[in-house]
Structure 1
Amino acid sequence: MATLDGQPVTPDDLLPLALTNLGHFTTLRVDADRRTRGLSLHMDRLVRDCAAVFGADLDTGRVRAHVRQALDGQDGPCVVRVTVYDPTVDVAHPEDADHPRVLVSVRPAGTATPPPLRAKSVRYERDLPEVKHTGLFGTLYARRAARRQGFDDALFFGADGQVSEGGTWNVGFLTDDGVVWPKAPALPGVTMTLLRQHVAHRVAPITLAEAKAARAAFATNAFIGVRALSAVDDAPMSVEHPLLDVLRETYVSLPGEEL
C-alpha cells in the first residue's frame, strides 16, 4: 500500500503526478532492523531537491515518520520510495505548485544477488541531472532499447563523449590508478557518496573509449549496492577484480542509521 502524508493514497491523488510528472524522489533500502545506510544523505537529497523543484522547505522528521508508518507490519528488508509532489499542480500554471506532499511506497527488497551487468552505451543526458526527479521517460526509453538489444541497461555519455552515469545508477571504473569516478553531469548518488567517503579514488573525465579500456567497472545505487559490469558494448570487463570485493565489503560494513 502507498500512503500520501500518512493516509491511504487514492487514484485522484495520483492522477496529477501521472499526468504532469512534476516531482522528485529518493529510493532507500531499509534492512530488517529498520536501519538504512546513508539515511541522512537521502534526507538531504529530498530537502535539496524540494527547494530546487518547488522552492519549498521539507520537514525530514515528517518524512521519516511517514516511512516508519508505511513499514508497519512489513517483514524483512524493504525498498522504500519517497516521492515528493503537489497534487494540486496544473499544467498551465506549474509555478503555483508549491505545497508538496509526501508519497511513500514500499516493496520487498529480495535477497538474490544480481548478476554482473551488461551495459549498452547511449548518448543521453538527463534533464537537471543533479536532481533525482520523476521525469524518467528518457531513462526508461534508453533502458528499453538496450534491453531489446540483449543488454541489461544503458550507460550514458554526453555530446562531449564523456561517460556520466547509468540508467538508475552511478558508475565507477577500475584502472591502473585505482577507482575512478566520471567527472560529468550526473546524479550525486547516495551509495557513490558513501563509497567516496571511505575508499581512495579520483574523479576525472572518462571518454567512452577509456571506459571500455578499463580493467573493470561497477554500478552503484541504494538498491543494488555495488554491482560489477561484465561488459560495455562489446568490450568485456573483469568481474573478479580484487577492488570490486573491497568496494562491496566496504559498503556492506557501513552502519545503517535508524529511521
Structure 2
Amino acid sequence: MTCTETTYTENNGVPAVDSALAAPALTGPGHFTAMQVRDGRVRGLALHLERLDAATREYLGRAGLDGERVRAEIRQALAASGRADASVRVHVHWPDGDSRATLKVTVREPQVAATGPLRLISVPYVRRTPRIKHLDGAVQNRALDEAEAEGADEALLTTPEGLVTEGAITNIAFWDGEHVVWPDAPCLRGMTMALLEPRLPSVRRAVTLGDLPRYRAAFVTNSHGISPVGRIDDVEFPVAREFMAGVTAAYAAVPWDAV
C-alpha cells in the first residue's frame, strides 16, 4: 500500500481496515507519543520509548512497555504504509483483563514546523496531569479552537494567575539576550524541548504574562520542529534571526536513530 494524504493504522500489528477497528484506541484511558520519521529514523527515539514506558506505569497503573515491541510495530506499520518519511503516532491502552497493552500505530504524511512568525493568544487553562501526553485533551483542544477562531496560530496556556505553562500543542521558550528561558511551570516536556534544552544556554524560570515585554524573542517547539513567535496577545516579538539560526542549528545537530 502506498499512502498519499491518508492515514494508515494498525492495532497490535493488525491493519485497521475500517472505523470499527480504528476506534478502540481513541476511547478510554490512554496515552501516546508523536514523532517525525525520516528514512526510517527518529530524533530522540529513546526518549519516546521512555515516555511510553513511564506513562504506562504511572497513568495506566500497569507494568512497563516493551520498547522493542514498540519499535517492531512502528517498523511494520511504516513498511505496510509504503512510507519511509512519515508522521507516526503510537497510542497505548491496556484494557482490563488483557495480558498486554494495546498499541495503535498511525502513519500519515510527514509534517514540518510552520515557518512563522506565529501569533499566540493566552488562554487560562492547565492540563490535567500535564506531564503525561494523555488522550483526554478536549478542553485543551477547545483552547486551541478558541485561539484559531481569533486568528491566532496557537493557544498559550496559563494558570488563572497568569503563569505561563505551555502551548496547547507546543512548548514555549523565551530569549532574554543571554539565556533560553523555559517556563518553570507544570507542562508536558515535549521531545523537541527535551532534545534542545541541554544543547542551548537554557534556564528554567517562572514566566508570567506581565513578564513578556522583557524578552527579546520567543519560539515554540513540538514534534514538527521549531517555529518563531511574533506576537503573544498584544506583545510583539521581533524575529531574532541570528538567535533562531542558532536554535535551528542545535536541533539539526541532534542525531537520528534507526527505528
Same fold (TM over 0.5): yes
CA distance in structure 1 between the aligned counterparts of 2:58 and 2:91, rounded to whole angstroms: 14
**What is the rounded CA distance, in whole Å, between the counterparts of 2:113 and 2:194 in structure 1?**
24
In percent, how many aligned pairs have the same letter? 34
Matches of 1:97 and 1:168 in 2, distance apart?
31
Deviation per residue, 1:60-97 (Å, 9 max, x gap):
100000000111153452110000013x46xxxxxx68
Which residue is equivalent to 2:5?
none
- Aligned to 2:53, what secondary structure does the other structure show? helix
| Structure 1 alignment gaps of length 5 or more | 90-95
- The answer as to 2:76 corresponding to 1:69 is yes
Query: What is the aligned partner in structure 2 of residue 23 from structure 1?
Result: 30
Q: Distance between the aligned counterparts of 1:111 and 1:130, measured in 2?
A: 24
User: Paired residue for 1:80?
Assistant: 88
Aligned partners of 1:188 and 1:110: how far apart in 2? Answer: 20
CA distance in 2, matches of 1:19, 1:110: 25
Consecutive unaligned residues in structure 2, runs of 5 or more = 1-7
Q: Name the Cα RMSD after superposition.
A: 1.9
User: Paired residue for 1:214?
Assistant: 215
Matched-pair contact (CA < 8 Å) for 1:172–1:217: yes
Please name the residue that 2:186 is paired with.
Answer: 185
Partner residue, 1:39: 45
Return the letter of the residue paired with 1:64: R
Q: Distance in 2 between matches of 1:187 and 1:206?
A: 16
Mapped contact 1:36–1:257 kept (Cα < 8 A): yes
Question: Is the Cα contact below 8 Å between 1:163 and 1:211 reproduced in 2?
Answer: no
**Does residue 226 of the first structure (1) align with residue 222 of the second (2)?**
no
Letter aligned with residue 40 of structure 2: R
CA contact (8 A) 1:3 1:70 kept: yes
**1:76–1:108 contact (8 Å) kept in structure 2:** no
Is the contact made by 1:216 and 1:241 (CA closer than 8 Å) also made in structure 2? Answer: no
Residue 103 of structure 2 corresponds to 102
**Aligned residues, how many?**
249
Q: Which amino acid aligns with 1:69?
A: Q
How do 1:1-259 residues align onto structure 2 when only pairs under 5 Å count? 1-9=8-16, 11-20=19-28, 22-31=29-38, 33-56=39-62, 57-72=64-79, 73-75=81-83, 77-86=85-94, 88=95, 99-110=100-111, 113-223=114-224, 225-259=225-259
Instruction: Give the whole-Å Cα distance in 1 for the aligned partners of 2:53 and 2:142.
Output: 28
- Residues 140-149 or 203-212, more deviating: 203-212
Structure 1 residue 200, shift from structure 2 partner = 1.3
Tell me by how many angstroms 1:14 deviates.
4.2
Name the aligned partner's letter for residue 218 of structure 2.
A
Q: Deviations over 1:194-245 (max 9, x none)?
A: 111211111010111112431110001121x111011001111112342211
Kindly provide the CA deviation profile for residues 77-119 of structure 1, in whole angstroms up to 9, marking residues without a partner as x.
Answer: 2110000013x46xxxxxx688421100011114685322110
After superposition, give the CA deviation of every residue in 1:19-61 in whole Å (9 maximum; x if it has no partner): 43x1000000011x21111111011000000111222221110
Give the stretch that moved more between structures: 40-49 or 195-204: 195-204
Q: 1:173 touches 1:181 (CA, 8 Å); kept in 2?
A: yes
Q: TM-score, normalised by structure 2?
A: 0.90
